[in-house]
Amino acid sequence: MSIFSKLINRRSNWAVPYAIFLAIFVALPLLLIVLYAFQDAEGSFTLQNFVKFIRQPEAVNTFIYSIGIAIITTFLCILLGYPAAYILANANLNRSHTTVVLFILPMWINILVRTLATVALFDFAKLPLGEGALIFGMVYNFLPFMIYPIYNTLQKMDHSLIEAAEDLGARPSVVFTKVVVPLSMPGVMSGIMMVFMPTISTFAIAELLTMNNVKLFGTTIQENINNGMWNYGAALSLIMLIIIGVTSLFSDGDEQSDSESLI
């Protein structure tokens, strides 16, 4: 038996090609972001990129503005999406599976096509593009990502708990606030992750929806990379990564299983 077939027969070795691939295309690129962020154009160590960010009111304002937009979008998505998910999951209020499909369908359409459609709608209604269009477009783009995980947890919920609460004399409003809402929190958390993270990092959508009048943090990063300011761009990317890392600490980390089990 050759060495090669011996290697193949140990099945844990089958992960080796992918491990090498991950090292080159996932680990190394991320290390490069950190490396570039702490280097100047000549390649020597510096903190100048971060100092530059803090000293530039424009960049800091864009950063804060983007977080604000992301929070508003996420909040509106919960406000609109939670009732929808609740109705969809409730057999007394909705029996048709088709409506569920209709709500998740937009998730499969190219995000730029969807944004294009929103721009078209505003043009058609003769509404000005700008902040309002931006928030509408964001909610429009990401609402399905809020509804789906909440719907999923509500559906998997143990209904005997609701019956128990009712049997013990809880009013419907109490059942809702004390039983349904707490039990659906994991879904809300995944929804927040799935809406907040993309909204904080988008760039093209904002440009298209505001005719380039409103700048988000993602756009700032992209512009710097495009203009050859790789080190500064990398530093800004690192700042975004930290924000996202902090956000994901608040979630339970299983949003992937909810979001990707659609098929």
Partner 1 sequence: MKRFFAQLYLWLLLAMLYAPIVIIGIFSFTESKVLGNWTGFSTELYTSLFNGGAHHSLLDAIKNTLSIALIAATASTILGSIAAIGIFNMRGRKKQVINLLNDIPMLNPDIITGISLFLLFVSLGISQGYTTVVLAHIAFCTPYVVLNVMPRLQQMNPNIYEAALDLGATPMQALRKVIIPEIRPGMISGFILAFTLSIDDFAVTLFTKGNEGLETLSTYIYADARKGGLTPELRPLSTIIFAVVLLLLIIINIRAKRNAKRNQAM
Among residues 147 and 179, whose Cβ is nearest to partner 1?
147
CB of 242 to partner 1, least distance (A): 11
Among residues 47 and 127, whose Cβ is nearest to partner 1?
127
CB of 117 to partner 1, least distance (A): 3
CB of 29 to partner 1, least distance (A): 3
CB of 179 to partner 1, least distance (A): 18
Among residues 9 and 160, whose Cβ is nearest to partner 1?
9
Among residues 54 and 93, whose Cβ is nearest to partner 1?
93
CA distance 207 to 209: 6
Q: What angle do CA 176, 179, 184 make, to 5 degrees?
A: 90
CB of 183 to partner 1, least distance (A): 20
Helices (H), 90-175: 97-104, 111-124, 131-156, 159-167, 172-175
Residue 235: both structure tokens together: 């530093």
CA distance 188 to 183: 10
CB of 85 to partner 1, least distance (A): 10
Query: Cα 125 vs. chain centroid, distance in angstroms?
Result: 29
Among residues 45 and 124, whose Cβ is nearest to partner 1?
124
R_g of the chain, CA atoms, integer Å = 23
Tally of residues, the chain:
263
Q: What angle do CA 225, 229, 231 make, to 5 degrees?
A: 95
Residue 72: both structure tokens together: 């508003």
Q: What do you get for the CA distance between the two ends of the chain, in Å?
A: 42
Among residues 21 and 250, whose Cβ is nearest to partner 1?
21
C-beta atoms surrounding 99 within 10 Å: 12
CA distance 175 to 165: 6
